[in-house]
Amino acid sequence: MYRLIGTAASLVSQDVGSMVDRAKRSAIVYAIVAILLLTAYAFGMVVVHQLLAEAVGSGLDAALLIAGATALIAVLALIVQAIVNRRQRRIAAQRNAARRMQLLALASVAPSLMRSKPLMITAALGALAYFVLNDSDEDD
């Protein structure tokens, strides 16, 4: 919540027109860089094909080797991404379970605090509000 206030204040204090111009310039530069990198990659693959064709003896065999290696790297990247996603989901589930346990503990103490002093009720409600706001801020 507090992060949004700072972001909103900085947005109001800056010139929106210059931000849009800077974003457009950056997008154009990144597009040009992407095209140049793809071109360099294509020429690099041509060089690798030529070198493999000389070593293997056939251009078709070299192309099949390049295609196989590329497919293998792509499958490995997908496997690594799946492992990372699974780990992040597990960590998020553990974090959510811990938050639920904290809220459950707070809710179980609430009836005894209701018979206590008003200051204790205020403290419990403040803690509950903190946990709820803290939960929504970390999901951003």
* φ and ψ at residue 95, rounded to 5 degrees: -65, -40
Q: What's the mean pLDDT when you consider all of the chain?
A: 80
- pLDDT tens for each residue of 72-123: 999 999 999 999 999 999 998 888 888 888 777 777 766 666 666 676 667 7
Q: What is the reported pLDDT for 21?
A: 81
Highest mean pLDDT among 20-24, 88-92, 129-133 belongs to 88-92
Q: Which residues contact 112 (CB under 8 A, 6 or more apart)?
A: none
- pTM of this structure: 0.50
Say how far apart CA 16 and CA 129 lie, in whole Å.
35
Furthest-apart CA pair in the chain: how many Å?
Answer: 89
- Give the span between the Cα atoms of 88 and 65, in whole angstroms: 35
